[in-house]
Amino acid sequence: MKKSLFLYLFIVAVLMNVFTYKYFSSKGLDEVKTLTIKNKKLNASIDSISNTMDDANYFSLENNSRAQNYLENYQAKDIIEKVKQALLSYNDNKEGNQYTGQIKLNEQKFIINKIKVINHRWLIADYSDGTLWGEVILKYFVNEDETISFEIAESYLYPKELN
């Protein structure tokens, strides 16, 4: 009787191990399939974001070889930093940055916040006085003495939003 009981217990144990092995091996395959699908979706998202970034950076000095050739004596990153610093230095003026194209309307002065160097000649900047916001397109010139001069091409001040 003991032998048949141990035989039955052994058979039940073997069957449980077989079913457990089958369950966990198929569960692992399902997880691999799920992770593969998620990986494909993430790669598609990365490609989409990369394409969006390429489109957004199409108009930039870093990606414009013709503009870089025009500025042959300078590295793109160096000239971009130099132009940004030169333009931001005008924010210290007590009347505000003169290259916003706006006069001081209240106690706050207009200062430039963000700058995007488009190519070897133009840049776009965002400016504000804390309540009003605008954008300006500037021409910039690298002078022979390596100073930077600016000229306003177009400036736009957005109307104040009523809440």
Annotate the chain with DSSP letters as a single string: -HHHHHHHHHHHHHHHHHHHHHHHHHHHHHHHHHHHHHHHHHHHHHHHHHHHHHHHTSSSGGG-HHHHHHTTTS-HHHHHHHHHHHHHGGGGSTT--GGGS----SSSPPEEEEEEE-SSSEEEEEEESSS-EEEEEEEEEE-TTS-EEEEEEEEEEPPPPP-
Question: Residue 104: what are its φ and ψ, rounded to 5°?
Answer: -65, 120
Q: Answer yes or no: are the C-beta atoms of 111 and 95 closer than 8 Å.
A: no
Q: Which amino acid is at 160?
A: K
Percent of the chain with pLDDT over 70: 99
Q: pLDDT tens for residues 51-88?
A: 988 888 888 888 777 877 777 777 888 888 999 999 99
Q: In percent, how much of the chain has pLDDT > 90?
A: 39
Residue 161 scores a pLDDT above 80: no
pTM: 0.69
Cα–Cα distance measured from residue 10 to residue 155, given in angstroms and rounded to the nearest whole number: 87
Virtual torsion, Cα 25, 30, 36, 42, nearest 10 deg: -130
Residues 6 or more apart whose CB falls under 8 angstroms from that of 60 comprise 116, 117, 118, 119
